[in-house]
Amino acid sequence: MTTPPPTVWPAFRVRDARALIRFLVDAFGFEETAVYGEGDRVDHAQLSWPEGGGVMFGSVKDDPDDPWPAVAGAAACYVVTADPDAVHARAVTAGAQILRPPYETDHGSRDFAARDPEGNLWQFGTYRGEPRRAG
């Protein structure tokens, strides 16, 4: 059975999209796929995760009719990776705020948690979402 390409993408607003793009690429290893906007404003950015999926975001808009009025700094994303220790080491080297160093979860995943400069929460780990029976 072939796994289909990802169709669920976290999407959020940020205050300094261009700085966050640089941070997510440098600290965590995302790849810049598409960025639309002029100057400091980013209307749409897509950053792909090398192991599949990615995130989308854009600059906060000072517009009461904004169709996507998400609050900056309020996102929380879980990113699956085969090597969370390597991503953690990269994040530490880039100066990311580590909230929880690598640890083993009670459901069999190896994870770590960090916060980006915008305040968004990022958890990286080996969890694949396979159903497991308790007991």
Give the residue extent of every domain in the chain: 11-61+73-125
Query: Which pair of tokens denotes residue 61?
Result: 């808009």
User: pLDDT per residue over 16-71, tens digit each?
Assistant: 999 999 999 999 999 999 999 999 999 999 999 999 999 999 999 888 898 888 99
Alpha-helical (H) ranges within 52-126 are: 84-93
Pairing type for strands 11-14 and 31-36 reads unpaired
The sign one gets for the Cα dihedral 58, 59, 60, 65 is negative
Question: How far is 78 from 9, CA to CA, in rounded Å?
Answer: 11
- Confidence at residue 5, expressed as pLDDT on a 0 to 100 scale: 77
d(CA 60, CA 72): 7
Domain range 11-61+73-125, its CATH number among 3.40.50.2300, 3.10.20.30, 3.20.20.70, 3.10.180.10: 3.10.180.10
